[in-house]
Amino acid sequence: MHTLFKSLLVFVLAMSAFTARAGEPELLIQFVPGSHIEAVTEKLKAAINTHNFTFVRQQAIDSRMVPPDWEAASIRIVYFCNFDKMDNALRQDKRAAQLMPCRITLIEDSRGVNLIAVNPAWVSEQWNAPESHEKCLNLKHDYVAILEETAL
Amino acid sequence: MKKLILSCWLVLASTTHGFATPLSASKTADMRIALDDLSLALADNGYQLIKVQTIDQALVKRGYADPGIRLAFIGKEAHIQQALASNPALLNLLPLRLTLETDGQHVRISSDDLTSWRERFPETNGVVQGWEDELAAILADYANQ
């Protein structure tokens, strides 16, 4: 993928989050300058553990859609979870499955790596379920903490 | 047809005032049969089954109650190019996810709510509507098998 195009991609993502209507932003975005996707993935995994989540798996965005040698090296998904939170959330509202497992997308360009997550509180805003929304706000804070620690 | 009358329903609903209703289909089946039927429906519609996440087994293995839920991640290579061309924010939806939920007799399969993405990012309307149409066809095939 062209460097210029990837920079444009990240810019569009950032603007999408910035221009969100009132309420929660759709996306949580953290930039790690001057790093490569492999190194940031390792830092992300460490931050996931630090915050009592369990790393589940990582894959290219097009994994199993193209032959392994053709997979995009610059866009990666990292999945993780916390089983207590998962159990608790599903007991309350089965729609919580839409947020499982937790996911952060990493996009590498010439300047560094962007980490992007769908904001769980934006998703739950649409459920009209205050108790679930409260849990999703807590989950959002977990995401933010993990993203920020990865960027340190 | 009998199966349809006895056990299938398909809901293709749209959002009302922002409270989302995803696409879903349900029929009499256990998880194994539901996954087999879903796999056929995916193949018939040109989709790949990327990964099945056995949330139920993962929780039971660790001593939690069985929520009766599995996730299927599904997709097509074309989706990535469509997302990049429309709005890269859509990459966060890929691969698409279906939730399989059993009550012991039926398995209901539902999509994530994509309507809210169309509403929040109007420029993605055509692309996301196309994905919703494909998911609706997959769920209809699942229900009718």
Task: Report pLDDT digits (tens) over A42-85.
Answer: 999 999 999 999 999 999 999 999 999 999 999 999 999 999 99
Q: Which residues pair with A27 in a beta bridge?
A: A118
Would the pLDDT of A10 be above 60? no
State the pLDDT confidence band at A18, using cuts at 50, 70 and 90: very low
Out of A26-30, B19-23, B85-89, B124-128, pick the least confident: B19-23
pLDDT score at A22: 56
pLDDT score at A48: 98
pLDDT score at B17: 39
Name the minimum distance, in Å, from the CA of B35 to any CA of chain A: 17
Contact (CB<8Å) A126/B55: no
pLDDT digits (tens, 9 = 90+) for B27-70: 999 999 999 999 999 999 999 999 999 999 999 999 999 999 99
Would the pLDDT of B1 be above 90? no
Distance CA A122, CA B121 (A): 14
Contact (CB<8Å) B88/A12: yes
Average pLDDT over residues B119-138: 96
Contact (CB<8Å) A65/B51: no
> ∠ CA B39-A65-A111 to the nearest 5 degrees?
145
What is the CA B88 to chain-centroid distance, rounded? 21
The partner residue sitting opposite B89, judged by closest CB among A26, A64, A101, is A26
pLDDT score at A128: 87
Would the pLDDT of B4 be above 70? no
Phi and psi at B71, nearest 5°, equal: -115, 140
Average pLDDT over residues A109-115: 97
SS3 content of chain A, % helix, strand, coil (to 5): 50, 25, 25
Q: Which of B91, B96, B108 would you mutate first to test chain A, the one with the most A CBs within 10 A?
A: B91
Contact (CB<8Å) B50/A64: yes
Would the pLDDT of A26 be above 90? yes
pLDDT digits (tens, 9 = 90+) for B97-126: 999 999 999 999 999 999 999 999 999 999
pLDDT score at A8: 52
pLDDT score at A25: 96
| B101 vs A: CB within 8 A | yes
pLDDT score at B117: 94
DSSP one-letter string for B71-98: EEEEE-HHHHHHHHHH-GGGGGG-SEEE
State the pLDDT confidence band at B22, using cuts at 50, 70 and 90: confident
What is the CA A43 to chain-centroid distance, rounded? 14
Out of A9-13, A20-24, B1-5, B11-15, pick the least confident: B11-15
**Which tokens belong to B65?**
């109650």
| B121 vs A: CB within 8 A | yes
| Ranges assigned E (strand) in chain A | 27-33, 54-60, 75-81, 102-109, 112-118
| A13 vs B: CB within 8 A | yes
Instruction: State the maximum Cα–Cα separation within chain B, in Å, rounded to a whole number.
Output: 45
pLDDT score at B7: 42
pLDDT score at B30: 95
Distance CA B8, CA B1 (A): 10
Would the pLDDT of A151 be above 80? yes
Contact residues on chain B for A20, CB-CB shorter than 8 A: 120
User: Residue B84 in contact with residue B91, Cβ under 8 Å?
Assistant: yes
User: Residue B145 in contact with residue B41, Cβ under 8 Å?
Assistant: yes
| A15 vs B: CB within 8 A | no
Helix (H), strand (E), coil (C) string for A79-92: EEECHHHHHHHHHH
Contact residues on chain A for B53, CB-CB shorter than 8 A: 100-101
Contact (CB<8Å) A97/B113: no
Cβ burial B78-101 (10 Å sphere, 16+ → b, else e): ebbebbbebbbbbbbbbbbbbbbb
Phi and psi at A32, nearest 5°, equal: -115, 100
Q: Where do we find the tokens 């209901």?
A: B108
